[in-house]
């Protein structure tokens, strides 16, 4: 058995720490308007940088969630560091739920 602590763990870290902290765009989602993101998926698929992600708020055993039911899935802005502020998501959103500020 090899000792785990003796292993050399690679530490690749391509982020230029000298540049931090950096300011990223703020993307706000109005959750009272954006209720069925998994069904709509317009902003998710139009974003060139794949900034958004969607997830099921409550994963239940033995039950598949209905994407058309309001409030089951939630949209989140994850990779704001990659956002280029092209405003495509804002324009495509049928509910006008997304605002981008810097």
Q: Nearest approach, Cβ of 101 to other proteins (angstroms)?
A: 14
| C-alpha distance across the termini of the chain, in Å | 53
Residues 21-80 that bind other proteins (CB under 8 A): 21-24, 37-38, 41, 44-45, 49-50, 52-57, 59-65, 67, 74, 76-80
Question: Minimal CA–CA distance to 37: which of 49, 23, 48, 47?
Answer: 47
Residues sharing a CB contact under 8 Å with residue 23, sequence separation 6 or more, in sequence order: 102
Judged by the rule CB under 8 A, the positions of this chain that interact with other proteins are: 2, 4, 7-15, 17-18, 20-24, 37-38, 41, 44-45, 49-50, 52-57, 59-65, 67, 74, 76-82
């Amino acid at each position: 058995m090899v000792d785990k602590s003796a292993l050399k763990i690679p530490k690749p870290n391509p982020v230029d720490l000298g540049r931090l902290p950096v300011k990223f765009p703020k993307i706000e989602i109005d959750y009272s308007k954006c209720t069925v993101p998994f069904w709509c998926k317009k902003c998710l698929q139009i974003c060139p940088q794949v900034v958004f992600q969607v997830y099921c708020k409550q994963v239940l055993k033995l039950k598949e969630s209905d994407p058309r039911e309001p409030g089951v899935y939630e949209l989140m802005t994850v990779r704001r560091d990659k956002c280029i502020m092209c405003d495509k998501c804002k324009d495509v959103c049928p509910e006008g739920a997304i605002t981008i500020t810097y």
